[in-house]
Amino acid sequence: MSFPWANHYEPQNPLMKWVDEKLPLPRLVYNAVGAGYPVPRNLNYMYNFGVLAGFCLVLQIVTGVILAMHYAPNALVAFGSTEHIMRNVNWGWMLRYMHANGASFFFLVLYLHIFRGFYYGSYKAPREMIWLLGVVIFLLCMATAFMGYVLPWGQMSFWGAKVITGLFGAIPLVGEPLQIWLLGGYAPDNAALNRFFSLHFLLPFVIAGVVILHIWALHIPGSTNPTGVEVKKESDTVPFHPYYTAKDGFGLGVFLILYCLFVFFMPNALGHPDNYIEANPLSTPALIVPEWYFYPFYAILRAFTFDFILTAQLWGVLAMFSAILMWFFLPWLDRSPVRSASYRPLYRIFFWVLMVDMAALFYLGGAHAEEPYIMFSQLATAYYFLHFLVIVPIVSSIERPKPLPYSITEAVLGKDDDAQLGATVAAKA
Amino acid sequence: MIRLFAILIGLVFSGVALLSFGVGAYTFATEEHEPTAEHEFHLAPKDVAYSFDGPFGKWDKVQLQRGYKVYKEVCAACHSLKFVSFRDLADLGYSEAQVKALAAEWQVPGIDPDTGEATLRPGLPTDRFPLVYPNDVAARAANNNAIPPDLSLMTKARHDGTNYVHSLLIGYADPATYKNAEGKSLAQEFPEFSTPPGLNFNPYFANLNLAMAAPIAADGQVTYDDGTTATVDQMATDVAAFLTWTAEPKMQQRKQTGTWFILFLLFATTLAYFSYKNIWAGKKPKKGSSE
């Protein structure tokens, strides 16, 4: 892995030499996120979000482990123990707001990271495995966040759990037994709360494991870049440290400012007031919605209102799961050899249509289930599926991409002296 | 092959979505849309300025003490405050001795040390505010089949909660003569609208009729210790402030901590920006030289 011109780890300090002989962990770090990892020199700010997502994962694990020391996963006392954290635990309010808003910011960063991938074709060969692992991480994050939202045992926790596990009930034949098995009962109660807590504690460590695989897979071909042209030579790259540690450091600062504005000045802006009402199986909230980061998929779920061969509910469930699962096939649906949308005029238009479509789904997923919102979400859902499954494959075969720069160096500096020799260099490679 | 399958599946999903759209749009276009009284006459809460608003907001302790008095003399007849302890009242500016005295004014459940039987005893600072009813059945029985909710978190459990509490308390009206801000009369627009017996009309409540009768009925219902004139609006404002404190007792600490966090982060991010620019100085072409 890595490029032949990568810096080599040469410890000077006798202690570090001694450590390196016994356990080359510093060497691993040096080669992974240090000066030993050459990275394309032209990455823009959209490439900050991977590091930020990693930061969010650590933040969630650290705050979550401490919250778990004070939280009680029992349906009788869960709500009260959350309030105990808010009122009596030293800095408990800060930990809880950091954790709750941390989930929101984690998803914000993940979405931007994924959309970056859509635009720059990060899923294309030779990076398919990175993409597949990324989709796995996203699915695990969704499961973790969903179960975490149930833990405070407020009204939205309870009814959210009921609606989402109810989706499994829509599956023919096995649906109802499956739902009962998942919940450990006929409705969310202590059994469900306990297992959700257990899994909510476990899954982040599974995510951390898949993140390691994700980064491992990334380090084989290295990052994409805004041109989509592969790294050819040393002048195309800079060492990760100090160049991208510095850039990511600045990005992290900006991220933390935005995050702290929410944690300290509007900590409940992204939540729902109903979750400050204790769970009550006898009182259904006027509007049951998940957290904002699930809105697009919730909009897709609710868009299917017409029984066509299958029941509308089953269509909704199938569509909602397919909406993410189909990302697994993206590397094989998009056959364009050009990665970056900057050089794909037709694809770029549809990418921005998709962004508008996603924005609409985000809005509609949180709206009341009434007209005209449902009609708009039906149109937005139709485009969402057309985009990935119909438009992307067709565009990639009919599109005429713009000429690519010879190299990253040429893209950055405007000229590359090797460009005239392009033929010979290519032949050598 | 995979792309053929994908196109097929994509067409099926979007086709069914569009089918749903067609059916929905047809129904939408052909069905009558009766506006409802709840939709036309429900009001968003009025904005009231509080000392704790904004990023540097602080509690007005005198106001919170007034609000506590309104809670104790009016709301506490039916509504509990089960997540708040008497010791928390020290936040309102009361001394340790005053907190002890305030706690002792409440009767909390205890155990008779001689017989072990359940009994009532005066509250201690470590006690929580007591429940009003032993259980939901008792609460319903005493309140025309409605359960008075616990108020500890009320201002966080409603949209724009502080203003909501204030508006709700001053918003009671007679449905027969009620007109909204545009001058539309409820009785004329919705002649069939009625407030069932035992419920009370209030345009700030989601479905316009709520079980609670106007709890603050007249000026001077509470006698303030600091000489403030106890108008209905003043009492509603003060108790809304108090319930904001009960819902989020750490708000002031949170905002002050946040200010330091933001100041530090601005400083650190500025440094990070210049070190980023410095490190990259030789690696980026001057502006305008590329493309």
ipTM: 0.93
| Count of domains observed in chain B | 1
- β-pairing verdict for B209-210 and A237-239: unpaired
Active-site residue among A248, A334, A357, A410?
A: A248
Q: What is the pLDDT of residues B264-281, one digit of tens each?
A: 999 999 999 999 999 999
CB contact, 8 Å: B257 with chain A?
yes
The answer to whether the CB atoms of A304 and B17 lie below 8 A apart is yes
The answer to whether the CB atoms of B6 and A246 lie below 8 A apart is no
CA–chain centroid gap for B272, Å, is 40
Maximum Cα–Cα distance for chain A, whole Å? 76
Which neighbouring-strand residues pair with B111?
B118
Q: Tell me the two tokens of residue A240.
A: 């990760």
Look up the CATH number of the domain holding residue B214: 1.10.760.10
Q: DSSP assignment, residue B108? A: E
Q: What is the pLDDT of residues A183-227, one digit of tens each?
A: 999 999 999 999 999 999 999 999 999 999 999 999 999 999 999
The answer to whether the CB atoms of B20 and A312 lie below 8 A apart is yes
Distance from CA of B6 to the nearest CA of A (A): 5
Q: What mean pLDDT is predicted for residues B225-237?
A: 94
Find the residue in B nearest to A42 (Cα). B284
Domain containing B188: what range?
39-60+152-251
Distance from CA of A23 to the nearest CA of B (A): 31
The answer to whether the CB atoms of A371 and B28 lie below 8 A apart is yes
Q: Which CATH class is domain A23-288?
A: mainly alpha
Q: How many other β-carbons are positioned within 10 Å of the β-carbon of residue A262?
A: 20
Whether the pLDDT of residue B230 is over 80: the answer is yes
- β-pairing verdict for A237-239 and A38-40: antiparallel
The predicted pLDDT at position A429 comes to 46
Residue in B14, B25, B206 closest to A286 by CB: B206
B271 contacts A266 by C-beta, under 8 angstroms: no
Query: Residue type at A125?
Result: A
Distance from CA of B230 to the nearest CA of A (A): 30
Q: What mean pLDDT is predicted for residues B35-57?
A: 92
Active site residue A247: yes
The answer to whether the CB atoms of B247 and A276 lie below 8 A apart is yes
Angle at B138 between CA B135 and CA B141, to 5 degrees: 150
Q: What mean pLDDT is predicted for residues B105-114?
A: 94
CB contact, 8 Å: B16 with chain A?
yes
Distance CA A389, CA B9 (A): 7
The answer to whether the CB atoms of B272 and A305 lie below 8 A apart is no
The CA distances from residue A427 to A1, A424, B176, in Å, are 22, 5, 90
Active-site residue among A99, A124, A162, A247?
A: A247
Tokens 């892995």 label which residue? A1
The predicted pLDDT at position A171 comes to 87
A148 contacts A122 by C-beta, under 8 angstroms: no
Tokens 């900050």 label which residue? A48
Distance CA B166, CA A148 (A): 33
Q: What is the 3-state secondary structure (H, E, C) of B159-220?
A: CCHHHHHHHHHHCCCCCCCCECCCCCEHHHHCCCCCCCCCCEECCCCCCCEECCCCCCCCCC
CB contact, 8 Å: B161 with chain A?
yes
Q: Is A216 exposed, middle or buried (0-12, 13-18, 19+ CB in 10 A)?
A: middle
The CA distances from residue A325 to A84, A319, A388, A394, B13, in Å, are 39, 10, 11, 20, 14
If we measure between CA atoms, which residue out of A270, A260, A277, A276 comes closest to residue A295?
A: A270
The predicted pLDDT at position B192 comes to 86
In terms of DSSP H, where are the helices of A151-227? 155-168, 175-183, 190-219
Find the residue in A nearest to B274 (Cα). A250
B chain contacts of residue A389, beta-carbon cutoff 8 Å: 6-7, 9-11, 13
The answer to whether the CB atoms of B6 and A312 lie below 8 A apart is no
Distance from CA of B10 to the nearest CA of A (A): 5
Distance CA A95, CA A78 (A): 17
Distance CA B54, CA B60 (A): 14
Residue in A87, A371, A413 closest to B83 by CB: A87
If we measure between CA atoms, which residue out of A207, A211, A236, A242 comes closest to residue A223?
A: A236
B89 contacts B283 by C-beta, under 8 angstroms: no
Q: pLDDT 10s per residue in chain A (429 long)?
A: 578 999 999 999 999 999 999 999 999 999 999 999 999 999 999 999 999 999 999 999 999 999 999 999 999 999 999 999 999 999 999 999 999 999 999 999 999 999 999 999 999 999 999 999 999 999 999 999 999 999 999 999 999 999 999 998 888 889 899 999 999 999 999 999 999 999 999 999 999 999 999 999 999 999 999 999 999 999 999 999 999 999 999 999 999 999 999 999 999 999 999 999 999 999 999 889 999 999 999 999 999 998 889 989 999 999 999 999 999 999 999 999 999 999 999 999 999 999 999 999 999 999 988 888 999 999 999 999 999 999 999 999 999 999 999 999 999 888 888 876 555 555 444
Residue in A83, A264, A386 closest to B254 by CB: A264
If we measure between CA atoms, which residue out of A210, A203, A197 comes closest to residue A54?
A: A210
In terms of DSSP H, where are the helices of A24-152? 25-33, 49-68, 78-87, 92-120, 128-150
Active-site residue among A274, A291, A410, A416?
A: A291
Q: What is the pLDDT of residues A263-288, one digit of tens each?
A: 999 999 999 999 999 999 999 998 89
The answer to whether the CB atoms of B3 and A315 lie below 8 A apart is no
The predicted pLDDT at position B143 comes to 92
Domain range summary for chain A, segments of one domain joined by +: 23-288, 299-398
Q: pLDDT tier at B52 (50, 70, 90 boundaries)? A: very high
Active site residue A223: yes
Which neighbouring-strand residues pair with B201?
B209
The predicted pLDDT at position B32 comes to 80
The answer to whether the CB atoms of B24 and A267 lie below 8 A apart is no
Q: What is the pLDDT of residues B6-38, one digit of tens each?
A: 999 999 999 999 999 999 999 888 888 778 888
Q: Is A429 exposed, middle or buried (0-12, 13-18, 19+ CB in 10 A)?
A: exposed
CB contact, 8 Å: B274 with chain A?
no
Length of chain A measured in residues: 429
Confirm whether B56 is domain-assigned. yes
Residue in B2, B250, B265 closest to A257 by CB: B265
If we measure between CA atoms, which residue out of A354, A318, A299, A300 comes closest to residue A117?
A: A354
Distance from CA of A256 to the nearest CA of B (A): 7
CB under 8 Å to B199, separation ≥6 — which residues? Answer: B209, B210, B211
Distance CA B170, CA A31 (A): 67
The answer to whether the CB atoms of B153 and A277 lie below 8 A apart is yes
pTM: 0.94
Average model confidence (pLDDT) for chain A? Answer: 94
CA quadruple A339, A345, A350, A356: dihedral sign: positive
Distance CA A56, CA A45 (A): 17
Q: What mean pLDDT is predicted for residues B143-162?
A: 95
Q: H-helix or E-strand containing A412?
A: helix A408-413
B chain contacts of residue A384, beta-carbon cutoff 8 Å: 14
Active site residue A248: yes
Q: What is the pLDDT of residues B181-217, one digit of tens each?
A: 888 888 888 888 888 888 999 999 998 999 999 999 8
Q: Which residues of A102-135 are buried (b: 16+ CB within 10 A; e: fewer)?
A: bbbbbbbbbbbbbbbbbbbbbbbeebebbbbbbb
The answer to whether the CB atoms of B285 and A243 lie below 8 A apart is no
The predicted pLDDT at position B34 comes to 79
CB under 8 Å to B290, separation ≥6 — which residues? Answer: A411, A412, A413, A414
Find the residue in A nearest to B272 (Cα). A250
**Three-state DSSP state, A357:** helix
Confirm whether B26 is domain-assigned. no
